[in-house]
Amino acid sequence: MEIKRRFFQASETSFFLFGPRGTGKSTWLHAHLQDALLVDLLSPETYRLYSARPERLGELIAGNPAKNTVIIDEVQKLPELLDVVHQLIEQHRSLRFVLTGSSARKLKRTGVDLLAGRAVLKTMHPFMAAELGATFDLARALRFGLVPLVVDSASPAEALGAYAALYLREEVQMEGLVRNVGNFSRFLEAISFSHGSVLSVSAVARECQVERKTVEGYIDILEDLLLCFRVPVFAKRAKRHLIAHPKFYFFDAGVFKSLRPSGPLDRPEEIHGSALEGLVAQHLRAWNAYGGEHYTLFFWRTKSGREVDFVLYGPEGFWALEIKNTRTIRPSDLSSLRAFKQDYPEAEVCLLYRGDERVEIQGIRCLPCGEFLQELVPGRPLLAHTY
């Protein structure tokens, strides 16, 4: 199988590499760090050896003095190893540890705090359109998403269908993260309706018929498993009354589509619109992460109902993006961007739509969404290609 280029750049020093299952962490490491020592905690035998004697890691390194990079795959399965890693970093300044994980849950109170300042945090995301190049297809990405495990599968529909089950079985059930897997499964279905929307925990709790605190705990689990993220409201120098609740997204448009039930009463354009918005969101997160985390992702919504889907704010730029799942642009589609530009004249505003032409309407640039995604490259300004 051809190894696709990734925009991810490793650190020269020790680093954590987090990312959901199937996003290509191990593939990238095997391709770029072939000479590194590997401790694969997904191997039952390796896990047994190191859980019984974590200090065995020091013996492995002592026995391979020519190796200066050590990969510990799925380190969250054995947080006790981080005590040994901490000690070895102090003893051997030339050693570089690469600590991968698909869950931050077990490391929240141990590993990440312990190694703060000694290991930077990196993240791996689903494919970006520019990484796929000419093979990127917007309609296919909206249907199946861009998780490498699914994209590279001979049967993407089957691979995507098994993805949620994989997490339920291996991450949630086997790790004992929830007491009632049935309730959690119903929660996954219910919260899929919140993808791309302002999150109402109470509404999700009513739909699942469980307590609000239970739903809050389930959302925390999804975030710890890196399966979702929340986008806060942009409220700097606010001139209007804004809502306070964040928006909710699954980390990949295909995963959202696989969890979102649909029936005769569901409008396809509504589901496709949420998927398109989520696809842009996951690209913005990857672009920011691979480019050095210089920006914060927000959205903007007034209590009167005006909304801008994404606002990126940082020391090197200030952008507002509106996403429309339509091939034609109506004047009303630009009203929220005009209102935002009125409040924040410093911002660059842009509308992304499903049409084929780059146009400017009422002073607002309107770009084909597929072209925008294909030309989005970390390290370059967000709208560099439109200048």
CATH architecture classification, 15-123? 3-Layer(aba) Sandwich (3.40)
Confidence bin at 284 (pLDDT 50/70/90): very high
Place of tokens 């051809």: 2
Average pLDDT over residues 263-278: 77
Average pLDDT over residues 151-163: 92
pLDDT at 187: 92
CA torsion through residues 27, 31, 32, 34, sign: positive
Measured distance CA(324)–CA(341) in Å, rounded: 18
Q: Are strands 359-361 and 364-368 parallel, antiparallel or unpaired?
A: antiparallel
CA atoms within 13 A on the CB side of 144: 20
Query: Which tokens sit at 315?
Result: 């020391």
Distances (CA, A) of 143 to 9, 176, 282: 28, 31, 15
Query: What digits encode the pLDDT tens for the residues 171-203?
Result: 777 667 787 888 888 899 999 999 999 999 999
Q: Are strands 364-368 and 348-353 parallel, antiparallel or unpaired?
A: parallel
**Alpha helices by DSSP H, the chain:** 25-32, 44-52, 56-62, 81-91, 111-114, 129-132, 138-144, 148-151, 156-166, 181-191, 201-208, 212-224, 253-259, 268-290, 335-343, 369-374
- For residue 110, pLDDT beyond 70: no
Measured distance CA(332)–CA(357) in Å, rounded: 19
pLDDT at 387: 41
Residues 6+ apart with CB under 8 A from 47: 41, 77, 78
Domain boundaries of the chain, sorted by first residue: 15-123, 129-386
- For residue 278, pLDDT beyond 80: yes
Residues 6+ apart with CB under 8 A from 132: 4, 146, 151
Place of tokens 């890693």: 85
Query: What digits encode the pLDDT tens for the residues 124-144?
Result: 999 999 999 999 999 999 999
Measured distance CA(247)–CA(299) in Å, rounded: 8
Query: Which tokens sit at 214?
Result: 């239970």
Cβ count within 10 A of residue 179: 8
Contact (Cβ atoms closer than 8 angstroms) between residue 236 and residue 191: no
Contact (Cβ atoms closer than 8 angstroms) between residue 352 and residue 380: no
SS3 content of the chain, % helix, strand, coil (to 5): 45, 20, 40
